[in-house]
């Protein structure tokens, strides 16, 4: 045996031992551990021996095998675009009036996404058209007919808007699921307007739909402080029904109604507020359980929503020179103009930041704010520690950044598998693997004798390598993945069939055992290589275009084919060479 052989032999022993070592976390996770703890990495780590690989390298079971929900949410960018076009139309009309160019009415066609401007005086339309097209660069002219001008949003703007809408929706969904405390949740973008969510272990699809299906709406609205005592007077002149827990509380000189029930507050105030005003509540978080509200307080807001989260360009939290936590927000150009107008008109009033019909905060407007940048300084009221306020600032920045969902989200796809079905599928899949593998092993041993048994050893090693490879890449084993596993073993053994047939052929030409084995491997190599490459091409394309379980199939196929190049060529050759060269055999059993 030459040095080269010993090197290869050492490599094979090392790979085999390494593979077995690498499968220890998987063994513990699937066999030793409790079923319920399958996804609990910390518990697995605690059970693993110190010398084993880290728990994160365990074989993941796909949602179809362990039970859980796979969802694809579609972001309804169409509705969002309609709303946006309409809002821009209104802005154009205001702009035309402000610049004294004339008077136009804006009408939106929700189907075609077109904006029709109609001038009161047709003579003014030429000037209006020129100015509007120069100022509102995100619109293109479609048609002009006398006093009417038809515009449509610019393609690249629409695409950018779409992309942003999906990104923001994703952030919101991730944040909401995080609140649920679901372990191992996976949220990712799918195509241009969809979001894919995997929730292992969850079983109620309708509940999950609720979680992600509701839309968050961020609004900036003015608080009506014309009568700061409004709620106190209402409470006195028109007291709530007996037995109600509604009380009057005061913060910063503004009396508010407070109750443990939001509905009670809304019902009590219904019909008792001035026209064009609306009562919106604020949730006072339970200090012990942050996801719950211990009580609600009321605000009287203008009904008009002048600015929504769509106009927000960014938000972040910081600490100012006075060591006060603050939230900095930036608006896009259109939002900045609107915000400047709003603050100019509302100096001395409060502006409420409303998310999902809940007043998040209502800072005071101290002066007109231009330039599209605003600062909300925290911690000037209320008895909270500096750290708590800083935390609050960070949360608010996050809410501002992620909370505004410019587009409604709908469910595109839900796949839910119950845990008991998953168990059954694992059992059946395991049996299918054993039967398929057993038949192939038996056939090879009978047909090629010793060479067949050598191929069998390689095949078993290949199977272990696939499992270890899946664990290493943190890929998941799915039901189609099991099918891919079986199929890959069938393809892997093809390589040994080709080699052994070639050796037989060389022997029949009267070559010596040594020469036949060497030539058999050399000549079959490129055929096997080509066959593997073509199968790999199909595998990779399947991987990049497939989702969920199909991707699991592709992963298994790819890992299996790569492993097969090693096991069926290198491993079998080293063993064969040992029998032929090492033992100096005159014959070879194929």
Contact set for another protein, span 451-480 (CB under 8 A) = 479-480
Q: Which one, 330 or 433, has the nearer CB to another protein?
A: 433
40-to-5, 44, 538 alpha-carbon distances in Å: 44, 6, 35
- Helices 513-545 + 479-508 axis angle, to 10: 160
Among 40, 76, 163, 332, the residue binding another protein under the rule CB under 8 A is 76
The neighbour count for residue 295, using CB atoms within 10 Å, is 19
Nearer to another protein, 47 or 415 (CB): 415
Size of the site for another protein (CB under 8 A): 94
- Minimum CB distance to another protein, residue 189 (Å): 14
Q: How far is the CB of 125 from another protein (least distance, A)?
A: 20
Other beta carbons within 10 angstroms of residue 153's beta carbon come to 19
Residue 66 contacts another protein per CB under 8 A: no
Restricting to residues 258-277, which ones interact with another protein according to CB under 8 A?
Answer: none
Considering the complex, what minimum distance in angstroms separates the CB of residue 318 from another protein?
A: 31
Listed ranges 154-162, 173-181, 460-468, 483-491: which one lies at the site for another protein (CB under 8 A): 483-491
Stretch binding another protein (CB under 8 A), from 124-132, 304-312, 329-337, 383-391: 304-312
Interactions with another protein, residue window 153-212 (CB under 8 A): 191, 194, 205-206, 209-210
Question: Strand pairing of 476-477 and 60-61?
Answer: parallel
CB 365 within 8 A of CB 345: no
Closest residue by Cα to residue 401 from 351, 330, 462: 330
Closest to another protein by CB, 210 vs 251, is: 210
Closest distance to another protein from the beta carbon of 371 (Å) = 24
Stretch that binds another protein, among 39-47, 113-121, 374-382, 413-421 (CB under 8 A): 413-421
Binding region for another protein (CB under 8 A) out of 31-39, 138-146, 168-176, 298-306? 298-306
Residue 423 binds to another protein (criterion: CB under 8 A): no
CB of 261 to another protein, least distance (A): 17
- Nearest residue to 460 (alpha-carbon basis) of 480, 440, 474, 484: 440
Q: Does 429 bind another protein (CB under 8 A)?
A: yes
| Measured distance CA(126)–CA(370) in Å, rounded | 31
Smallest gap from residue 87 Cβ to another protein (A): 5
Q: Which of residues 325 and 422 has its CB atom nearest to another protein in the complex?
A: 422
3-state secondary structure of 260: coil
Within 68-124, residue ranges assigned H as helices are 77-98
User: For residue 134, what are its two tokens?
Assistant: 């120069």
Least distance from C-beta 103 to another protein, angstroms?
14
What is the SS3 assignment for 443-499? HHHHHHHHHHHHHHHHHHHHHHHHHHHHHHCCCEECHHHHHHHHHHHHHHHHHHHHH
H/E segment holding residue 414? strand 409-417
Q: Which is nearer to another protein, 19 or 416 (CB)?
A: 416
Q: Which of 433, 457, 460, 570 binds another protein (CB under 8 A)?
A: 433
CA distance 177 to 132: 43
Binder of another protein out of 219, 224, 456, 506 (CB under 8 A): 219
Gap between the Cα atoms of 61 and 534, Å rounded: 28
- Residues facing 557 on adjacent strands: none
Helices and strands (H and E) in the chain: how many:
17, 21
What residues between 305 and 364 interact with another protein by CB under 8 A? 305, 308
- Residue numbers 127-146 binding another protein by CB under 8 A: none
Nearest CB to another protein, comparing residues 68 and 240 = 68
Give 111 or 387: the residue with its C-beta nearer to another protein.
111
Nearer to another protein among residue 418 and residue 582 (C-beta): 418
Q: What is the DSSP string of 523-579?
A: HHHHHHHHHHHHHHHHHHHHHHH--HHHHHHHHHHHHHHHHHIIIIIIIHHHHHHII
CB 333, min distance to another protein, A? 18
Site string for another protein, 93-122 (x = CB under 8 A): -------------x---xx-----------
Q: What are phi and psi of 524, to 5 degrees?
A: -80, -15
Q: Which stretch, 27-35, 121-129, 214-222, 317-325, contacts another protein (CB under 8 A)?
A: 214-222
Q: How far is the CB of 220 from another protein (least distance, A)?
A: 12
Q: Site map for another protein, 485-514, x if CB under 8 A?
A: -xx-xxx-xx--xx--x--xx---------
Distance CA 266, CA 296 (A): 10
Listed ranges 31-39, 169-177, 243-251, 411-419: which one lies at the site for another protein (CB under 8 A)? 411-419
Per-residue b or e along 549-569, where b marks 16 or more CB atoms closer than 10 Å to that residue's CB:
bbbbbbbbbbbbbbbbbbbbb
CA distance 412 to 304: 33
Mark 369-408 with x for binding to another protein (rule: CB under 8 A) and - for no binding. ---------------------------------------x
Which residue number, 66 or 256, has a Cβ lying nearer to another protein? 66
Distance of closest approach, residue 564 Cβ to another protein, in angstroms? 12
Interface residue with another protein among 8, 38, 83, 189 (CB under 8 A) is 83
Per DSSP, 247 falls in state E
CB of 453 to another protein, least distance (A): 14
Task: Give CA–CA dist 88/106, Å, rounded.
Answer: 9
Question: Which residues 223-252 are close enough to bind another protein by CB under 8 A?
Answer: none
One character per residue 527-546, x = contact with another protein (rule: CB under 8 A):
x--xx-xxxxxxx-xx--xx
Q: Which of 429, 424, 39 is nearest to 201 (CA)?
A: 39
């Amino acid at each position: 045996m030459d040095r080269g052989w010993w090197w290869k032999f050492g490599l094979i022993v090392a790979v085999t031992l390494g593979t077995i070592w690498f499968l220890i976390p998987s063994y513990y996770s699937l066999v030793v551990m409790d079923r319920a703890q399958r996804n609990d990495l910390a518990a697995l780590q605690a059970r693993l021996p110190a010398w084993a690989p880290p728990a994160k390298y365990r074989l993941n079971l796909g949602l179809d095998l362990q039970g859980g929900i796979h969802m694809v949410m579609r972001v309804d960018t169409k509705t969002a675009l309609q709303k946006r076009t309409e809002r821009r139309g209104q802005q154009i009309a205001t702009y035309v009036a402000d610049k004294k160019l004339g008077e136009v009415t804006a009408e939106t066609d929700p189907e075609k996404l077109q904006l029709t401007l109609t001038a009161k005086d047709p003579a003014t339309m030429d000037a209006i058209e020129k100015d509007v097209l120069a100022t509102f660069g995100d619109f293109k002219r479609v048609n002009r007919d006398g006093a009417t001008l038809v515009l449509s949003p610019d393609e690249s703007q629409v695409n950018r808007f779409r992309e942003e809408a999906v990104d923001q929706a994703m952030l919101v969904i991730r944040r909401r699921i995080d609140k649920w405390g679901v372990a191992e949740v996976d949220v990712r973008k799918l195509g241009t307007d969809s979001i894919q969510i995997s929730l292992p272990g969850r079983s109620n699809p309708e509940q999950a739909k609720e979680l992600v299906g509701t839309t968050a709406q961020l609004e900036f609205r003015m608080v009506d402080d014309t009568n700061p005592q409004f709620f106190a007077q209402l409470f006195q002149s028109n007291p709530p029904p007996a037995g109600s827990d509604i009380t009057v509380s005061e913060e910063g000189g503004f009396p508010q109604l407070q109750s443990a029930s939001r509905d009670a507050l809304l019902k009590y105030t219904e019909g008792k507020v001035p026209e064009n005003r609306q009562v919106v509540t604020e949730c006072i978080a339970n200090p012990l359980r942050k996801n719950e509200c211990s009580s609600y307080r009321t605000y009287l807001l203008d009904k008009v929503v002048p600015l929504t989260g769509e106009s927000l360009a960014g938000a972040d939290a910081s600490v100012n020179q006075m060591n006060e936590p603050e939230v900095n927000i930036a608006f896009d150009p259109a939002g900045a103009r609107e915000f400047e107008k709003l603050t100019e008109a509302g100096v001395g009033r409060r502006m409420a930041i409303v998310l999902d019909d809940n007043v998040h905060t209502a800072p005071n407007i101290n002066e007109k704010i231009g330039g599209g940048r605003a600062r909300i300084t925290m911690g000037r009221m209320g008895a909270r520690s500096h750290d708590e306020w800083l935390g609050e600032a960070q949360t608010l920045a996050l809410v501002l950044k992620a909370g505004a969902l410019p587009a409604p989200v709908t469910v595109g796809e839900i796949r839910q598998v119950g845990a008991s079905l998953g168990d059954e599928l694992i059992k059946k899949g395991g049996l299918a693997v054993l039967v398929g593998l057993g038949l192939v092993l038996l056939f090879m041993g009978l047909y090629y004798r010793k060479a067949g048994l050598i191929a069998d050893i390689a095949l078993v090693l290949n199977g272990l390598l696939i499992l270890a490879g899946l664990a290493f890449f943190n890929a998941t084993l799915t039901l189609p993945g099991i099918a891919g596993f079986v199929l890959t073993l069938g393809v892997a053994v093809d390589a040994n069939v080709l080699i052994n047939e070639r050796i037989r052929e060389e022997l029949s030409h009267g070559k010596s055992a040594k020469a036949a084995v060497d030539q058999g491997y050399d000549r079959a190599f490129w055929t096997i290589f080509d066959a593997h490459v073509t199968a790999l091409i199909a595998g990779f394309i399947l991987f990049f275009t497939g989702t969920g379980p199909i991707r699991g199939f592709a992963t298994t196929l790819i890992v299996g084919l790569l492993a097969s190049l090693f096991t069926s060529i290198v491993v079998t050759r080293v063993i064969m060479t040992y029998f032929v060269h090492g033992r100096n055999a005159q014959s070879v059993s194929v």
